[in-house]
Structure 1
Amino acid sequence: MTGTQDDDVGMSMHELDSLRRRRIDLEQQWAEVVPRLRQAAPRAEAGDLLLRHEVTESWIRSLPTVDPATDRAPVTDGGVVRPRWTGSPLREPVERVADELRTVADDAGFIAAVTDETGTILWTCGGRVMRRRAEQVNFAPGGRWDETAMGTNALSLALRTGRPSAVFSAEHLVAALHGWVCYCAPIRDARGQVLGVLDLSSTWDRSHPLAMSTVRSLVSAIESGLPAVSSAGLRVSALGVAAAVRDGVALNLRPRQLEILTLLALQPEGFTLDALREALYGDRMVTTTTVRAEASHLRNALGGILTARRYASTVPIECDAVDVLAALERRDLDAAVRLYRGPLLPQSEAPGIVRWRDHLEVTMREAVLTSDAPEHALAYGERAWYDAEIHEHALGSLARTDARRAIAAGRLAVARQE
């Protein structure tokens, strides 16, 4: 998709010239940086500053598995894709907004695509010309567009980061995609789990600042039509962040209430009054009346599911910290590293939280340091910028020809400056 369509773009010549200059600059950067990364250069140079940090890091992660000269995405067997789409929770809500998606795609000259959580395209729509161009690179049902399969693109970045992403022209690692611009956002269920992504793609000369807001709006419409998620339990996010959701609705809880909820998730058998007071306040002179009041506020906020004599929840509490510990217990370090997004309630000073935080961090760190797989140290290193030992381990685990050494070396340099 390298041709321009100036007559139909709907933008001024000045805007088009600006896009063209940006594309030329990115092409020059790609031509300079990608060969150097393939030679495992130790770090990026000043000229790389025109590139976004998330783009260069994605290039480095992708190069061990993706040839920039590839001309199309790998394809999953269609016999697998069709039943996957039929059974997908995304199918019905996407079909309900399909007319709007087709209108957007036809009017703006885009092609729309929906993937599953692995980055495999399940559904597309668009005009005949755009579909034909997209099919040339397997941007069609069955095409795999995750980072290990097709390198840096909006779909792979949105899946990896969990955030909306746009990739323009030569920001794509694969040269065959330099004529594209792609806008993408993850689709989540009520619990926040990513089910897939929605992508709008077109030729580079149709890049438009409103495209991302259109994607966001369409994703909101799809998410509103998703099947209801079971309300049998609560979901607490406590690693790197602090949030709780029930019945698909975010709970407005105070920090102390989130601490109690997190402790109950990690210790589902519950707490006696004295044990809860110690976990929250330690040796501080705090009365049991204060602890009872805190528990009562949480009970009211949760609709009465907190028992009174021994403080415990009457419904299951799902928690990301519990998920990490379970993954470590079954020796699934891939899952543990993926789920570990940072320290447990990093702002909390409650002794019970601090103990669990230290336990999680030490357990995760030791598991990573004993792993021979560089992917573990690289992924954990994203959350531990100032841990020189982790970055040294990543560097030592990587082959000298591995382009990802640039990531580990750069992080190690930063850590040693502290």
Structure 2
Amino acid sequence: MSQRSDLRRRRAALENAWSRLVPQMGSAGSSPGGGEALPDAVTESWVRSLSSVDPRRGSAPVTEGGAVHHRWSDSPLRRPVDDLADELNSIAEDAGFVTALTDESGTILWTCGGRTMRRRAERVNFAPGGRWDEQAMGTNALSLALRTGRPSSVFSAEHLVTALHDWVCYCAPVHGTDGRVLGVLDMSTTWDRSNPLAMSTVRTLAATLEARLRTEPQLRLRDTTDPVRLTCLGTEQVVRQGTPLPLRPRQVEILTLLALEPDGYTPERLREAVYGDRPVTASTFKAEISHLRRALDGGVATRRYALTTRVTCDAVDVLRALENGDTDTALRLYRGPLLPRSEAPGIEEWRTHLEVAVREAVLASARPEHALRYGERAAYDVEVHEHALRLLDPRDTRRAVAAGRLTTALRD
């Protein structure tokens, strides 16, 4: 009880200091002093932050989801985090924390924790895509750790933004083998659960990630002259040397997820992507993996599920074309939704991502044939048909096609 009282008194003192100092700093552009309840690092950060951050903002700005996915796929921290994901999630759930990892810019790439805490964190965009650098979200433990390269903790009203005054955050930077800060590991919870042991925990976990970066060998694909070809847009087919592989729909879903995530999945994360909240025994899940592994001649890694044999995939080809700005190729390969019959949560998420990415590329294109081609399969997409009409010359006979589609879409 005394600890809770101490925390409550500390929170009240910080709220009082915040209400006195922040308005003065905002008008004066410098610290007025008198912040005896506050570390110098906090007041100095407040001064810097006020030039770009409104203390009354409700949440962190968000980076576009596709960009975050690619940052995470390419991050050197992806593999060690995946390997430690079960431990990180267990610690976060047991302690009532939400754990996050950022890149070197302060953008969150990955989170874990109990559902209640994650939902609460998502309200302030403490979730993948959220930007937590000092310029975007002011004084917080993530921004201080990024700036100093050292572990940092920020409690309640030490945060500049009032929406974060109910939180306490503990952070430690994660360094690469060359000494660069690759990102920050953060453990956050509500102020009344503040615990000094959390700082030692997050420092230990960050050190573990750094050790894995130094020692874990990189996964290598086996060279093969006969790659497997996976077709999963609008239909589903898995072929090697012209011969279909005998895979059940669930195994095709798993293969598709592994093809789209070349760094692989922890067993828990893959199981969630395939089954969601459905009650499925571990033996059933492992049986599907074993069957897929046999069909690929052992081409699925065991400790972390990832492909170790070469698989070409039309969905991956579409994403690569979009990344290269090649809308022609993306539209030629995009023959329909990803595994349209699948209800696996991970497939549904990727299906939406692909649909949105292709559609946005079409709407950004200045070539009417892109909108016309996409419009063939998007009968009720008014915006696409209107885009085609705007781009077509008044004398272009294809206007009749676009106009007919638009009329039908508006009618329905």
TM-score normalized with structure 1 length: 0.51
Alignment partner, residue 68 of structure 1? 55
Contact 2:169 2:187 (8 Å CA) reproduced: yes
- Alpha-carbon shift at residue 228 of structure 1 (Å): 6.4
CA RMSD of aligned residues (A): 1.5
Whether 1:22 and 2:10 are equivalent positions in the alignment is: yes
* Inter-partner Cα distance in structure 2 for 1:43 and 1:64: 13
- Residue in structure 2 matched with residue 221 of structure 1 by the alignment: 208
Q: Deviations over 1:72-94 (max 9, x none)?
A: 00000001000110110000001
Alignment of 1:301-316 (within 5 A): none
Selected match of 2:19 from 10, 31, 35: 31
Mark the runs of 5 or more structure 1 residues left unpaired by the alignment: 1-12, 230-418
Cα pair 1:116 1:197 within 8 Å, conserved: yes
Alpha-carbon spacing, 1:41–1:72, altered in 2? closer, same or farther (3 Å): closer
**Partners of 1:170 and 1:42 in 2: how far apart?**
19
SS at 2:169 equivalent: strand
Q: Higher relative contact order at CA 8 Å, sep ≥6: structure 1 or structure 2? A: 1
Which one of the candidate residues 179, 184, 189 is aligned to 1:202?
189
* TM-score, scaled to structure 2: 0.52
Amino acid at match of 1:21: R
Tell me by how many angstroms 1:43 deviates.
4.4
Match for residue 154 of structure 1 among 141, 162, 183: 141
**Deviation, structure 1 residue 49:** 1.6
Percent identity (aligned): 64
State the match for 1:78 in structure 2. 65
The 1-side partners of 2:30 and 2:60 are apart by: 29
* Mapped partners of 2:29, 2:85: distance in 1: 46
Q: Which of 95, 98, 104 is the aligned partner of 1:111?
A: 98
Cα displacement (A) at 1:44: 2.0
Amino acid at match of 2:195: H
Query: Is the contact made by 1:181 and 1:202 (CA closer than 8 Å) also made in structure 2?
Result: yes
Query: Is the contact between residue 190 and residue 228 of structure 1 (CA under 8 Å) also seen in structure 2?
Result: no
For the Cα contact (< 8 Å) 2:172–2:203, is it kept in 1? yes
Query: Equivalents in 2 of 1:44, 1:14: separation in Å?
Result: 33
| Post-superposition offset of 1:68 | 0.1
Residue 127 of structure 1 is matched in structure 2 by 114
Q: Note the C-alpha offset of 1:45.
A: 3.1
Work out which of the residue numbers 165, 175, 178 in structure 2 matches 1:191.
Answer: 178
- Structure 2 residues without counterparts, runs of 5 or longer: 217-412
Q: Which amino acid aligns with 2:71?
A: R
- Secondary structure of the 1:196 match is strand
Relative to structure 1, the CA distance from residue 31 to residue 194 in structure 2 (aligned partners, 3 Å threshold; closer, same or farther) is same
Q: Structure 1 CA distance, aligned partners of 2:211 and 2:152?
A: 21
Secondary structure of the structure 2 residue equivalent to 1:214: helix
Which whole-Å deviations, capped at 9, do the CAs of 1:7-38 have from their partners, x for residues lacking one?
xxxxxx00010001000000000000000001
